[in-house]
Amino acid sequence: MNKFKTLVLMQLKEKIDLSFLKSKKQLLFKVIFALLGFVAVTALAYVVLYLCQRLNIFSAINHLPISLMSVIFTVIFLISLFTCMIGLSKTLYYAKDNQIFLTYPVNSSCLFLSKLVVFYINEVKRSFTFVVPIFFAYGLLSGLPIYYFLWLPVMITVYTLIPVLIGGLLSFPVNFIIRFLNRYSFLKYALLFVILALVITLVVYAIAAIPEDINLIQSWRSVSRVIREFLSWFSDKFFIFYAFVIFLCGSYDNLQVTFFTEYSYIVLLVMIAVILVLALLNFLISRPLYLKMASRQFEFDNTKERKNKPNYQYGGLFSSCLYECKKSLRNSSVLTVTLSTAVIAPIAILLLNAIYSAINTRLMGDYLTISFNILVILLFVLAHNISVSYIFSRDGEAGMLNKTKPKKPLQILLPYLFYNFITSTLILIVTSSIFLAKTNLGGNGIFVFFMMWFIMIVHLLWSAELDFLNPKNNKYKLEGVVTVNSNEIKSTILAFILSMLCFGLALFFLMDGLGGVWIKLFFVALAFLVLRCYLFYYKTKVLFREI
């Protein structure tokens, strides 16, 4: 048991920065920030649910149906399952620390369990960031009794075991499929092509299905009926989730909520049984596979014979950019993010604008449409650039070795941004073209595009700066992947804030009615870009030598 505890603590310390425990002030800050974050997410969820309730979107009476919560819960569960599958396949089979852990005098079950427990703790942390606040907001809005707020965190903590255990079970076949596809590139590309074709067909179908004139107010009754029918269909078909949500939030009888009925005990028993069975299956199936994979060397995977290639000389900066692109294109996770953004973003904008153009909007509606387009485009493009927040760290020690090369800090660092700069710009050009073609911005379109482009570069430089000045090369060197990277979190928050800021400013200036909106925004973004460029140059010049 002691060994197990040591293993868990060792891995936890590696994944979570616990340095704040040493200082009371830092601990206080950490607790306050965590609470503030929790309150903020709860408040946001409350506002959204409140609006849904007030607008009677999901129910004819002023009430939020429990089936809505079951839909939300199911979506969260599926996302959680997906992340667990991917995360566990990396943590269990490809983590570099495996080769060290396998040499420790602990039995394999202990090692396997410790890995699962560490992953589970991270998942619980994630649940408390999103799932619990959403259900708290629901509880506050529905006026649920006080014990609900104590009961909920406990049950969410227990429930989180399920996606982790299922993820553990499924991670191996997923991993096998990925490896299989990697081995047979033809199959991979064929599958990609099929998925792409399916998506395009689906989009064309969806656009065709959008009526020419959407009048939400007139057709609200029928829309509302469709929504309610969907909720009731969902509750029937996905009864397990529905039952679990009733178990969590209580069942309604004439708007009176009751907890801890016989029904609840049955659900509880079923949940415990499912967890036990899943744990057993993991132990019996995943553990041996884990040991087999963890001890496997990936050297000599490539058995193909290659002909000797010639050596070409390129200029220093061009060469760095070229090889940086090669590195990114050969990295499956980077390529997946780029491809998925490049496909999804234009489709989303196309769909969005197809719906908008069908809705008969007033002036305010037009303003909202334009601002919302900017928000969505920026969210996609900036989300694509989040990977820049660990682009230097990802190279591990090799990145640090760059410091020994006769290049200025900027010459070392700028090539890192080249791939994202090019791909994000291309994505922005495509999405903006669709957006501008669908709206009547005329010549102002050029200002809108450049405004978004400047913001994209601002985010790119800012995210890169986060990584360059606080790199995690050692963590990436040891683990290959870092699940909780503070730079990545900051970059994500930045992406959100910058997009919201542009959305808010665009809407605000449009509503102001003073004209010159896009020129103003263009210059604001330009000023911001100049400032960021200067700070990037200045900070990297002075601080890069010290990292």
Interface positions with another protein (CB under 8 A) = 25, 29, 32, 298-302, 304-309, 311-316, 319-320, 323, 326-327, 330-331, 395-398, 400-401, 403-408, 477, 508, 512, 514, 538-539, 541-543, 545-546
Minimal distance in Å, beta carbon 387 to another protein? Answer: 15
Closest CB to another protein among residues 222, 404: 404
Euclidean distance between CA atoms 395 and 412, whole angstroms: 13
**295 contacts 102 by C-beta, under 8 angstroms:** yes
Closest CB to another protein among residues 78, 335: 335
Euclidean distance between CA atoms 10 and 106, whole angstroms: 14
The dihedrals phi and psi of 104, each to the nearest 5 degrees, come to -75, 150
**465 contacts 536 by C-beta, under 8 angstroms:** yes
Q: In a 3-state reduction of DSSP, which class is residue 482?
A: coil
Minimal distance in Å, beta carbon 507 to another protein? Answer: 12
Largest CA-CA distance found in the chain, in angstroms, rounded: 80
Euclidean distance between CA atoms 286 and 159, whole angstroms: 20
Closest CB to another protein among residues 287, 472: 472
**144 contacts 55 by C-beta, under 8 angstroms:** no
**Chain-centre distance for alpha carbon 247:** 28
Eight-state DSSP code of residue 472: -
Minimal distance in Å, beta carbon 320 to another protein? Answer: 7
Q: What is the C-alpha R_g of the chain? A: 26
Closest CB to another protein among residues 143, 406: 406
Q: Identify each DSSP E strand in 175-271 by its residue range.
A: 251-253, 256-258
**545 contacts 400 by C-beta, under 8 angstroms:** no
Polymer length in residues for the chain: 547
Closest CB to another protein among residues 32, 364: 32
Minimal distance in Å, beta carbon 360 to another protein? Answer: 29
Other beta carbons less than 10 A from residue 505's beta carbon: 18
Minimal distance in Å, beta carbon 142 to another protein? Answer: 18
Minimal distance in Å, beta carbon 102 to another protein? Answer: 17
The dihedrals phi and psi of 59, each to the nearest 5 degrees, come to -155, 145
Minimal distance in Å, beta carbon 401 to another protein? Answer: 5
Euclidean distance between CA atoms 62 and 53, whole angstroms: 6
Closest CB to another protein among residues 140, 240: 140
Report the alpha-carbon angle 507-510-515, nearest 5: 155
Euclidean distance between CA atoms 296 and 175, whole angstroms: 14
Report helix, strand and coil shares of the chain as percent, to nearest 5: 80, 0, 20
Minimal distance in Å, beta carbon 406 to another protein? Answer: 4
Q: Which helix (H) or strand (E) holds 165?
A: helix 161-183
Closest CB to another protein among residues 86, 322: 322
Contacts of 12 (CB under 8 A, 6+ apart): 18, 118, 121
Minimal distance in Å, beta carbon 185 to another protein? Answer: 14
Closest CB to another protein among residues 222, 297: 297
Minimal distance in Å, beta carbon 17 to another protein? Answer: 15
Closest CB to another protein among residues 186, 300: 300
Euclidean distance between CA atoms 427 and 410, whole angstroms: 25
Closest CB to another protein among residues 197, 364: 364
Phi-psi sector, 250: left (phi>0), alpha (psi -120 to 50), beta? left
Beta bridge partners of 256: 253
Minimal distance in Å, beta carbon 331 to another protein? Answer: 6
Contacts of 108 (CB under 8 A, 6+ apart): 287, 290, 291
**382 contacts 495 by C-beta, under 8 angstroms:** yes
C-alpha count within 13 angstroms, C-beta hemisphere, residue 468: 29
Closest CB to another protein among residues 199, 542: 542
Minimal distance in Å, beta carbon 169 to another protein? Answer: 28
Closest CB to another protein among residues 178, 543: 543
Minimal distance in Å, beta carbon 100 to another protein? Answer: 14
Minimal distance in Å, beta carbon 407 to another protein? Answer: 6
Closest CB to another protein among residues 309, 362: 309
The dihedrals phi and psi of 238, each to the nearest 5 degrees, come to -110, 60
Contacts of 284 (CB under 8 A, 6+ apart): none
Closest CB to another protein among residues 355, 524: 524
